[in-house]
A = this chain, B = another copy of it.
Amino acid sequence: MTRVQARDTAREILEIIPLVMRTVAAELRAAGEMPAPAHFGLLSILSTRPRMLSDLASLQGVSLPTMSNSISAMVERGWVRREAPDGDRRVVMIDVTPGGRAALERVTRCAEAHLADVLAPLDLTARRKLQGGLGVLRKVFAAAPASGARKNHRTPAKR
């Protein structure tokens, strides 16, 4: 990819992604009860199986304190539970509650409905393009979690 292409793509990403982000967030908000996309993703991940706090943080690519806060917010809503596993008493396992599952269910249906409205006018070609593009984004950004870091959240070696 040439410099010019990179710049154009960069510009486009910096322009479009926040827009999509705001729109989606606004929809979730309007749907009531879902404060943020982050919570949605978290519930999604947790609905498969319980996870350690640190695992959640690195899966989502955020710092441990950030994840701890998000989880606290969700605990307060009654969507997840913090539990102590038998073995290592330092770790905290996060598990979905039935309430959390229900919320995920509701919000999924709602988001689906809204996005379906928006996506409805797309023809087959456009849909293919969209999915192709999303796939590329996933590959690119899942592989490169920020520029380098992401392995040591603490002060780096400090000595």
Contact = CB atoms under 8 A, between A and B. Distances in A.
Interface residues of A, number: 64
A108 interface: yes
A1 B129 contact: no
Contact of A129 (B41, B62, B111, B129): B129
Contacts of A3: 112, 116
Interface of A: 1, 3, 5-7, 9-24, 26-27, 30, 37-38, 40-41, 44, 60-62, 108, 111-112, 114-122, 126-127, 129-138, 140-142, 144-147, 149
Q: Which 10 A-B pairs have the closest CB atoms?
A: A133-B133, A129-B132, A6-B116, A26-B146, A10-B115, A130-B136, A7-B112, A10-B112, A118-B144, A18-B37
8 contacts: A10-B119, A12-B138, A14-B24, A16-B138, A22-B146, A23-B146, A27-B146, A27-B147
